[in-house]
Amino acid sequence: MRKDSEALKQVLRDLEHLHPKKIDLGLSRIERVLKKLGNPQHSLPPTIHIAGTNGKGSTTAFLRAMAEAQGLRVHVYTSPHLVSFCERIVLAGGIISEATLLDILARIQRVNAGEPLSFFEATTAAAFLAFSETPADLLILEVGLGGRYDATNVIDHPAATVITPIDYDHAEFLGRDLAQIAREKAGVFKPNTPAYSAEQSSLVHAVLDGEAVKTRCKLQSMGEHFSAYAQQGRLVFEDEKSLLDLPLPTLRGTHQIQNAGLAVAVAKSLLIDERAIAKGIETASWPARLQALSKGPLAEMASNAGAQLWLDGGHNPHAGRALANAMAELDAAEPRPLILIMGILANKDAPGFLNAFAGLAQSLIAIPIPDHSSLAAENLMDIAKGRGIKASAAYNLNEAMKAAIDAKTQTPPRILICGSLYLAGHVLAESLD
């Protein structure tokens, strides 16, 4: 096992050097490799293709849990991973083994023969090859970046396409024009194929409607064709034909009502029954999404001090608003000072993320994200102070935790580690040690 782990790390490092750019959107390179592999993307089970800015992972988790509760064998492709790269590829319900992935990647390297191929293109081709060789009833396929020119968008005839909430993110690749971002994400629409959208801003909604007409796809939008809302401790889903009384999601936050509702709409199109839908809502799990940490050295430090410790990988303004709302709900139920331990990539919108925490967070401790280009602590501190949040810096998580616990608060604090999925992955890896 150890030998496979080291070999896999080396192969993944090698793949990073096949293309000068880390991200280079386009389909020609992956189509070339897939053709040499016999076009495995044409030999997949019915596929649900999911694009959007936020909520892709949670919607995927709900839909997977519903399908598996129905007894279906489900493939899943997501990114990025948190602890192990193998998390990205689920084969018929189980994470791909390192040995299997090594074999698949070796075949990708052979047919590619050293030609330019981005890391995501190589690993997406590997996923398609693995999926084509393992029987399953359904594939849930998450877009990596954008939509139209994302490497996953070589699927010609998905069973359905899904658009989760769209907002600003990856500005260096997708730009700052929200309408254009929405058009690119709508590039996953396919003719005569059902499409489902979460609630969107009026601008994004209008763009998606227009793209659906151009593509001749059948778009159903939350708030127009179906709805989901909490009522008397239950999740109510309603569309033109039915009304379902369902349990509330175990995934925390009011935004998960919307993610679950979107998954319900898709599940119904797959003829998944109400019992399986209900069970999926109750059993879906998705790490680092408003996760209460109870294991590992950091959780032990918090517990010994009577503090709460939460983890979330959200990193853009939309995620910041959802996360702040969830923290406000927790504060209403049990008031505690909120301390943010935050690391965020230099290319992310830290001001937009922190806007929602003004008046809510008492203080922020800025930390670097190991092995990634983080926003400088001084810059993050200035952004926080500009929103009335006290700020300091720490060299690492342990130092930040000690500072949070030692903060002079009247009651033990609620500590939230946030700002990056890469930071969240580092936290979860530490909790496994």
pLDDT in tens, 364-408: 999 999 989 999 999 999 999 999 999 999 999 999 999 999 988
In sequence order, which residues have a C-beta less than 8 Å from that of residue 255 and are 6 or more positions away?
54, 55, 322, 325, 326
Residue 279 has what pLDDT? 98
Looking at residue 173, its pLDDT comes to 61
Tokens of 212: 């659906």
Other Cβ atoms within 10 Å of 260 Cβ, number = 31
Peptide bond preceding 80 in cis form (omega within 30 of 0) = yes
Give the per-residue pLDDT at 171. Answer: 61
Yes or no: say if 362 and 337 are a contact pair by the CB < 8 Å rule.
Answer: yes
Alpha carbons 133 and 153: distance in angstroms, whole number: 20
Distance CA 421, CA 231 (A): 32
CA-CA-CA-CA dihedral for 34, 37, 42, 47, to nearest 10: -70
Distance of CA 428 to the CA centre of its chain: 16
pLDDT of residue 6: 87
pLDDT given at position 127: 98
pLDDT confidence of residue 404: 97
Rounded CA-CA distance 269/113 in Å is: 42
Are residues 160 and 48 in contact, defined by beta-carbon separation less than 8 angstroms? yes
Separation between Cα atoms, residue 302 and residue 308, nearest integer Å = 6
Q: Which CATH superfamily is domain 2-283 in?
A: Mur-like, catalytic domain (3.40.1190.10)
CA torsion sign for 384, 386, 392, 395 is: positive
Where do the CATH 3.40.1190.10 domains begin and end in the chain? 2-283
For the entire predicted model, the pTM comes to: 0.93
CATH class of this structure's domain 291-432: alpha beta
What stretches of 164-269 adopt beta strand conformation (E)? 194-197, 218-221, 226-231, 234-239, 243-247
Q: Residue 191 class from Cβ within 10 Å (0-12 exposed, 13-18 middle, 19+ buried)? A: exposed
Length of the chain in terms of residues written: 433
Rounded Cα gap, residues 360 and 119, in angstroms: 39
Pairing of strands 234-239, 243-247: antiparallel
Q: Do residues 397 and 367 touch, judged by C-beta distance below 8 A?
A: yes
Residue ranges of the chain with per-residue pLDDT less than 50: none
